[in-house]
Structure 1
Amino acid sequence: MELRHLRYFDAVAETLHFTRAAERLHVTQSTLSHQIKQLEDELGTPLFDRSGRKVRLTEAGEILRSHMAPALGQIDRGLQALRRPADSITGRIRLGTTPSFNTRMVPQCVANLLNHYPTIQVTVEELSAGAITRRLGSGQLDLAVSYRPAEGSELWFEPLYNEELRLVVGRGHPLAKRRRVRMVELHAQRMVLLPATFQTRKLLDECFDQAGARPLVVAQLNSVAPMIELIRHTDLAGIITETAVPQSADIRVIPLEDPTPIRTPGMLWHKGATRSPVLKHFSEIIRRAAGTAA
């Protein structure tokens, strides 16, 4: 069965006249009749009653049309969207994200979207996971890149990948030349971390407890880029995902173990929200970027 068979069937079902349907489709009546016969043979049942002076839909034809018409409408709308010039598509996307994803991945995804849809407006808010959950729930955000919400949430969560958090230090730090560092070795280390309201910080605190380590947290910043700059110019250590750290000769990124902090970022949106085609396209851009980061 091919799409043209369904379009031919739809034209005859609407006009209930083979000659008029053939004229509408710009084909000969014999071609149209042959195509309808092929469709009926494939389905194993007649779709039209041709026994009288008028053409009528059979019960099978009625059932097929009731299910097929919405699908053809969707196909036509999709084809129209593809034919529209990208610079004629307008709209707004409100994205929430936690700090580490706003350093590289999210800006790259926004750039990709704007290159394709230059007239779309994008607002990105860098927030804690808790604030993202609240804003999605209240309709203040359309989409987010964050972490799994609490059970019972009205949000959908689509995991993207698993990532390790790693120790980040300046090149002059005592741990800078280590190949791996155990969490217990961070006991009493001077550190900069995200504030306690962030899910990542809660994960790290659990890892510290498990290892029996109590780091000396002398600075708490709610954005990753300033954390990296602070590490670059001080003796402080931080724990950040490697994908958020730019390559630099004066920064070292070292794997952690016993335990290794691992988190699973994903996309979130409200269960009752309607997602536009552009928002769905943006979601696919994020999935591709996450596949590269994994």
Structure 2
Amino acid sequence: MNLKQLYYFKRLAEKEHYTAAATSLFITQPSLSHAIAELEKELGVMLFAKQGRNVRITEYGKQFLPYVEKAISELENGREELKRMSGDTLDNINLAFIYTMGERVVPQLIEGFTQQPGRQNAVFSFSQGATQSIVQELKADKFDLAICSNLVDETEIEFTPIISQELVLVTSRNHPLALRGEQSIELADAMDYPFIFFSEKSGLRPFIDKIFSQKNLTPKVVCYVEEDTAMVGLVSINYGIAIMPRITTLDYSNVQVMNITNPGETRYVYLAMRKGRVLSATAQAFKQFVIQHCNTLALK
């Protein structure tokens, strides 16, 4: 058993597809197959089983995976600690964020951080996605930090609330609700119309579901989307109405925005990282900057 085999096993467990896993590892599929076969031979159990063109991790593999993830994580932490001790710490920060944060929030944070003395050499690598995908990648140590929703059942991730986010009801300009000319609306008054909803990958989805549940309302959902601008586009052609964050895109789109009367608890966006991960000095400084300065950067 060697470290390369463990990395290969972990990636195949994530992808459950040999070609996809091999591509992401920048190796050939036969090389991956051989490495997994040798690992299974040494362990004396089957870690994966064929399922059509894909594979699925077996119960043996599921039992083995947490140990592999912990071992790899500890090795990565050790490497970061040695970099810190030797002064060979890179100024690169891998940051992931949900789509609504890319328009104003992340650019303002980057601008504020890099204008600090000694931070001009900080280099960022960015990724966007839905919260579910981002959190999985955080657990795989692909990112240092993420700005996303809170997943209450994720015990491996540390979530720190940083930004409150207003949710609004959005319709097309010529929608019957828009033609009423009102600035606010009770959700009950919108139940006769189809809704466009965020997909289950979105961390905002459980929050919106809770709003309807608390009001004992059941919306008619016409479709699900993952990204905010797609939702705005569909609303603008009157495909449906939607509840979504009040993002700047709404100001110059062909939509009508209404406040929700008695919306319930406040929606927060969080700074997330894997518990136990050792951040570089620059990434740690950025984390503290985000937590300390979110209230002073006028983020919305």
TMscore range, shorter length: 0.5 to 0.7
Match of 1:141 in 2: 143
- 1:216 Cα offset (Å): 2.6
Over 3 Å counting, the alpha-carbon distance change for 1:246 and 1:110 in structure 2 is farther
- 1:167 Cα offset (Å): 0.8
Sequence identity of aligned pairs in percent? 20
TM-score (normalised: structure 2): 0.59
Match of 1:238 in 2: 242
Over 3 Å counting, the alpha-carbon distance change for 1:201 and 1:243 in structure 2 is same
Over 3 Å counting, the alpha-carbon distance change for 1:225 and 1:104 in structure 2 is farther
- 1:153 Cα offset (Å): 1.1
Match of 1:163 in 2: 165
TM-score (normalised: structure 1): 0.61
For 1:214-233, what aligned pairs fall within 5 Å after superposition?
214-233=218-237
Equivalents in 2 of 1:96, 1:157: separation in Å? 14
Match of 2:109 in 1: 109
Match of 1:208 in 2: 212
Choose which of 261, 279, 283 in structure 2 pairs with 1:279: 283
* Structure 1 runs, 4 residues or longer, greater than 6 Å off: none
Specify the SS of the correspondent of 1:162.
strand
- 1:256 Cα offset (Å): 1.0
Equivalents in 2 of 1:193, 1:109: separation in Å? 29
Over 3 Å counting, the alpha-carbon distance change for 1:121 and 1:199 in structure 2 is same
Q: C-alpha deviations, 1:13-52, integer Å up to 9, x for none?
A: xxxxxxxxxxxxxxxxxxxxxxxxxxxxxxxxxxxxxxxx
1:141 corresponds to which letter in structure 2? Answer: F
1:147 corresponds to which letter in structure 2? Answer: S
- 1:118 Cα offset (Å): 5.9
Over 3 Å counting, the alpha-carbon distance change for 1:260 and 1:150 in structure 2 is closer
- 1:144 Cα offset (Å): 0.7
Over 3 Å counting, the alpha-carbon distance change for 1:175 and 1:141 in structure 2 is same
Specify the SS of the correspondent of 2:217.
coil
Q: Contact (CA 8 Å) 2:161, 2:270: kept in 1 or not?
A: yes
Match of 2:92 in 1: 92
Larger Rg: 1
Specify the SS of the correspondent of 2:240.
coil
Equivalents in 2 of 1:136, 1:266: separation in Å? 13
Equivalents in 1 of 2:283, 2:172: separation in Å? 39
- 1:267 Cα offset (Å): 0.6
Q: Contact (CA 8 Å) 1:173, 1:235: kept in 2 or not?
A: no
Over 3 Å counting, the alpha-carbon distance change for 1:249 and 1:130 in structure 2 is closer
